[in-house]
């Protein structure tokens, strides 16, 4: 198995856990045409603003747990970002991501080609309902991962 390289992994504050590790993400993506272009990064919150993140947690809202983007148009690499969840939610989020999101992501990346300039795919974990919500680039819910091209 080829392990997707990890570029960054932030140390987690007490009470948080990453729902997936590099091996769990890499395994279902082995058939992706772009496997060599993938990079992993792990960060403990889904937004730079700690107050906004704390509000989401306090209100039992949705937090982004997994996303794929192409950070720069000049960069051929694709960035897979994993965000932490409260430790009490990690097992449920992991099961849902392994059963639902990673197979969808694998199917999407298996057909990805380099001529797709914009890539934006993400999944949120809803702390209130303990469920996943695929989100497209504009923030509206979608049923499947997809790419977004500039108009």
The DSSP 8-state label assigned to residue 143 in this structure reads S
Q: How many helices (H) and strands (E) does the chain have?
A: 4, 8
pLDDT digits (tens, 9 = 90+) for 6-17: 999 999 999 999
pTM recorded for the entire structure: 0.81
Domain range summary for the chain, segments of one domain joined by +? 22-135
Buried-exposed string 54-86: b where 16+ CB fall within 10 A, e elsewhere: eebeeeeebbbbbbbebeeeeeeebbbbbbbbe
What is the pLDDT at residue 112?
Answer: 72
Question: Mean pLDDT across the stretch 137-143?
Answer: 40
- 7 forms beta bridges with none
pLDDT digits (tens, 9 = 90+) for 85-122: 999 999 999 999 999 999 988 887 877 766 666 667 89
């Amino acid at each position: 198995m080829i392990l997707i390289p990890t570029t960054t992994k932030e140390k987690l504050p007490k009470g948080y856990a990453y729902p997936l590790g590099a091996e769990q993400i890499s395994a279902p993506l082995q058939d992706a045409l772009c496997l060599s272009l993938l990079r992993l990064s792990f960060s403990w919150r889904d937004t730079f603003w700690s107050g906004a993140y704390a509000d989401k947690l306090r209100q039992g809202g949705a937090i982004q747990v997994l996303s794929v983007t192409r950070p720069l148009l000049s960069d051929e690499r694709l960035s897979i970002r994993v965000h932490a969840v409260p430790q009490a939610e990690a097992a449920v989020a992991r099961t849902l991501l392994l059963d639902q999101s990673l197979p969808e992501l694998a199917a999407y990346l298996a057909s990805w080609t380099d001529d797709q300039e914009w890539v934006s795919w993400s999944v949120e974990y809803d702390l209130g309902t303990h469920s996943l919500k695929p989100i497209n680039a504009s923030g509206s819910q979608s049923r499947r991962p997809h790419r977004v091209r500039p108009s």
